[in-house]
Amino acid sequence: MNSSSYDRVMELDGCAVRVVDAPRVASVRERMPAERDLADTAEVFGLLSDPGRLRLLVALLDGELCVCDLAAVSGMSESAASHALRLLRAHRVVSVRRSGRMAYYRLADAHVRMLLDLAVAHIEHTQVVEEAVHPEREP
């Protein structure tokens, strides 16, 4: 690729006009959450990015479970499950109910359930699309 064609590609990648729709940009900026709220949201998504923690959360879609049962369902040790649940509780993704020495965990609220339901539905949808587009690939 010669220098002039590279320069043309670079021009196309950038914005020739810095703000195309100023009122819309202003509207979006007004609705943008505060930096701290964005950071908190990013932390929650980071917590959900771990397959072990996600397995625990999906198990809780069926309702409250004790740490022992969550460890068995997720294939984690009780110690690892307990640690993961502590992290999730610190970020208000799960809540805990204690009964004697037992700790029973559940999803913190309907928003967490909705987030998980949507994520699982999205993956199921994309798998169906992927299989339709590429039937030769194994699931």
- Give tens-digit pLDDT for 52-100: 999 999 999 999 999 999 999 999 999 999 999 999 999 999 999 999 9
Reduce the DSSP state of residue 44 to 3 states and report it. helix
Percentage of the chain beyond pLDDT 90 is 68
- Give tens-digit pLDDT for 37-47: 999 999 999 99
Q: How far apart are CA 62 and CA 112, in angstroms?
A: 13
Q: What is the pLDDT of residue 31?
A: 96
pTM: 0.72
Q: What is the pLDDT of residue 134?
A: 64
Q: How far apart are CA 60 and CA 66, in angstroms?
A: 10
Q: What is the pLDDT of residue 14?
A: 64
- In Å, what is the CA distance from 79 to each residue of 35, 75, 101? 34, 12, 15
Phi, psi of 138 (to 5 degrees): -80, 145
